A and B are shown apart, each in its own frame.
Chain A
Amino acid sequence: MFKSLLQCSGLLLCLILLSLNSHTLLAQAAEPPTESTPEIQAKAILKAAIDNWRGMSSYSEMTMRIHRPDWERSVSMRGWTRGDKDSLVRVTAPKKDIGTGTLTLDKGMWTFSPKVNRVIKVPSSMMNQSWMGSDFSNKDISKADEIVHSYSHKLTAIHEQDGHKVYEIEAIPHEDAAVVWGKQVIRVRDDHVMLSEAFYDQDGILVKRMDTLEIQELDGRPVATRQRMLDIEEEDHWTEIILHTVDFNIELADSVFTLSNLRNPRD
């Protein structure tokens, strides 16, 4: 009976942006030392990525398409991120949702609606819903840095595809990580574009999968511009994120990630 409702677009985008960042940053990471074991390689890739990731910032514009057998809906948004904790997202379309925003800081999440002109802190009981009826569960996205911190990683395969090397990394959550999945399998190209992320339950059954459908060069680097989260267990349920523009490593004032900015945008 708990309905899907949570206003945490910020988190969703945060994840996507941060993972974009992290995968992009793989470029700056050292090439994996070829002589070590796959486990150490995977760790090295991610460790380097994390080290480089901290302090990073971004600005982006994007559209989310939620598809269901009987309807489809699009939401356009602008997002700012800084480091692995802070993010701010604001809806720019459709008209009725313009100005709706979500701010995520280290320990909390706030949402703002111009309709009521209020900022509301989201309680834990509401953290568990799928977002706006999309195929992203807040659980997957509320802790963007979790994929790095709360998992142990393993490089399981390297293959060639379209002239690129593709690393397949298996991520298994730590014992006390707030993650329900049994494992996640991430495929990353050597130019650090994420190709897919698959979510398996604890019996090893695939539950949902995010696929990269389009890759373009934005802000001077290849970026996944269209990604689709597919619900494996329900037919014709998917959500797409289409990235229009992105600027990496920009200067963002501290005031961006504040409740007052959430309420009264200064940008």
Chain B
Amino acid sequence: MPISLRLAWRNLWRHKRRTWLTTGAMVFSNVLLVFLITWQYAMYGMMVDNSLRMLTGHFQIQHPAYFDKPRIENSFQLSKSTLEALENQDGIDVLVRRSEAFVLASSRERSYGIQIIGVEANKEASISSLPGLLKDGRYLQANEEQIEIVLGSRLAKNLKIKLGDELTLFGSAKDGSTAAAIATLVGTLETGVQEVDRNLAFIHLEDFDAIFAMEGEIHRVVALTPSVDSVDTLLTKIPELGEDVVVRDWNKLLPELKQSIQSDMASSWFMYSVLIILVAFSVLNTQLMSVLERTKEYGIMMALGLNTLRLASLVLLEALLMALLGLLLGIGLGLIVVAILGQTGVSFPGMEEMAAEFNIPSRMYLEIDLRSAMAGPLLVFSASILAAIYPVLRLRRLRIVQAMRAP
């Protein structure tokens, strides 16, 4: 084998320019694919991460009926020990409890029906990005006498209240009794997404519990894991929590997130395949040329006793070597590009608006991820090898005598 290898390698460099050009096509598309796919997956990752880090988390524990009918009475209770056991389980970073209710929020001037969320103020920042998006004032703090509330900036504006002003909350409690409270605005949040900023309202979970007569029951336990990819396997390991609760992963909670990724993926891969096909044609052409032009040489080799199979493997080996060269150089250069862009960050005009819509930052710092870096180049590699098959098949038609007479 080493002999064929050396032979193939030498054959390749008999036509330096041709080999380089073909490899160049591979390297070009590989670098491009490494960059694009890394970018693409980084963006998806970010979209998923940022969307999930708003409120959803990686998975949630809920009352079975809560997803379809988010009514206040569809609540559940998890004992402290169960919660602690869960939190200590491998693969779960944070767990927070939340409750939600629909209330009438009234200032002196205006009233709006809003969704109010009771949160564990000290832990919320570790699972949600919202506490970090403070515009004015501060987030909820523990151990305050009064009932504190944090609102979306637009909601506060529409209610015409300022920090320190009071807001009346009015709704019905879990037991059907009147739920009413006066809360003091301590801070406003701004996500930049109008719809969100018009609807957010947070109070302490303890206050929520008292106002809405929850008696320790809650509506969601939201959990964060080290990464979205580990959720599926993790969920299989979660112990049975009882009949009153179900575990729902982010896919179930935010189905449109995955769908928008899938549709984007479909159109991207269409473009990538065009690139890959073009490269394959380039390889096909090169290999075919190199086979045709060496007809005489092959004739002689066969006359000397080399069988078609050996000859075919020799030609394939050439293609393989070339593809390998393209693969390695492509990935190498691609990674360098990604690494540089990881330092400088990538942005383009219009990205800011996109960013606001899709929950991504307006400048992206790419990170090297071998899996996404390999995907494109490996496809180019396989396509190149496939493209070499046709020229190899042509070898079978070679007739020794005619071949030797070839120009």
Contacts and interface: CB of A to CB of B under 8 A. Distances in A.
Contact of A120 (B102, B170, B181): B170
Interface string A1-13: 1111101000000
Given A2-B113, A3-B72, A3-B102, A100 B178 contact: yes
Interface string A59-74: 0000000100001010
Interface string B162-176: 000000111110011
A140 B169 CA distance: 25
Nearest to B111: A123
A122 B181 CA distance: 16
Nearest to B213: A96
B102 A115 contact: no
Contact of A132 (B104, B168, B176): B176
A1 B102 contact: yes
A133 B182 contact: no
Nearest to B170: A120
A66 B176 contact: yes
A2 B114 CA distance: 9
B71 to A, nearest CB: 6
A71 B73 CA distance: 10
Interface residues of B, number: 27
Question: Counting chain A CB atoms within 10 Å of each CB, which of B70, B72, B73, B104 scores highest?
Answer: B104
B103 interface: yes
Interface in B164-206: 168-172, 175-182
Interface string B87-104: 000000000000001111
Interface string B106-128: 10000111010000000000000
A123 B179 CA distance: 17
Nearest to B178: A100
B274 to A, nearest CB: 44
Question: Counting chain B CB atoms within 10 Å of each CB, which of A7, A71, A116 scores highest?
Answer: A116
A161 B72 CA distance: 43
A190 interface: no
Contacts of B101: 3
A109 to B, nearest CB: 12
Contact of A2 (B102, B168, B175): B102
A227 to B, nearest CB: 19
Interface string B56-75: 00000000000000111100
B395 to A, nearest CB: 69
A150 to B, nearest CB: 26
Given A3-B172, A118-B168, A97 B72 contact: no
Given A1-B70, A2-B113, A4-B71, A120 B176 contact: no
Contacts of A96: 177-178, 213
A122 B110 CA distance: 10
Interface in A219-247: none
A34 interface: no
B178 A115 contact: yes
Contacts of A120: 104, 106, 111, 168, 170
B176 A123 contact: no
Given A116-B180, A133-B176, A122 B102 contact: no
Contact of A5 (B70, B102, B182, B213): B102
Contact of A7 (B71, B178, B182, B213): B178
15 contacts: A1-B70, A2-B113, A3-B101, A3-B172, A5-B103, A5-B171, A5-B172, A71-B73, A115-B178, A116-B180, A118-B180, A121-B111, A123-B113, A125-B112, A132-B177
Question: Considering the complex of A and B, which 5 residue pairs feature the smallest CB-CB distances, nearest first?
Answer: A3-B102, A113-B180, A5-B172, A115-B180, A116-B180
Given A5-B179, A7-B178, 18 more contacts: A1-B102, A1-B115, A3-B72, A3-B101, A4-B71, A5-B102, A5-B104, A5-B170, A7-B170, A66-B176, A71-B73, A71-B175, A73-B176, A118-B168, A118-B180, A120-B106, A122-B111, A126-B104
Interface of A: 1-5, 7, 66, 71, 73, 75, 91, 94, 96-97, 100, 111, 113, 115-116, 118, 120-123, 125-126, 132-134
